[in-house]
Structure 1
Amino acid sequence: MRALVMAVAVLALLAVPAQAQMGGGKRGHQGDDTKAANKKPKVDDKAYQEALKRIPDSKEKYDPWAVTKAPDADKSSKNRR
């Protein structure tokens, strides 16, 4: 009897994550969330586009590997090309 109870408990614990992944915990108030979610991305997108316009253009090209190169590496690589 103890083994049966343990087996049922293990199966129940294994089924909970599978149900969560499949969307088994749906609630009845999803319609309200979708209306608000449709309006919010438009506002966020507009704010994002305006923020992009405020970023100044860089005057020099950014080199993320500059700290790993020797100071003479740029000069010698340009001469080889």
Structure 2
Amino acid sequence: MRILVIAAALLALACGSAQAQGRRQPSDGGAKPADNTPKVDEKAYKAALERIPEPKEKYDPWGGARPSEPAKKPK
């Protein structure tokens, strides 16, 4: 009897989560959502990119993991 109660409880929990995935928000009758995204100013974007200075050295993402110069092998 105990096994039957545990199995029923597990089944109820599994069905509850599956049912929650199928729920949808009520629609607003076809109203389109407002466009709240900011507009991109292309001139300002290009001007900002031009103000970024060029790096003097090439960036090495593995610089901390390995030495920058290879070790010389003794002969």
TM (normalized to structure 2)? Answer: 0.47
Which structure: larger Rg? Answer: 2
Which is bigger in relative contact order (C-alpha 8 A, separation at least 6)? 1
What TM-score do the two structures reach when normalised by structure 1? Answer: 0.45
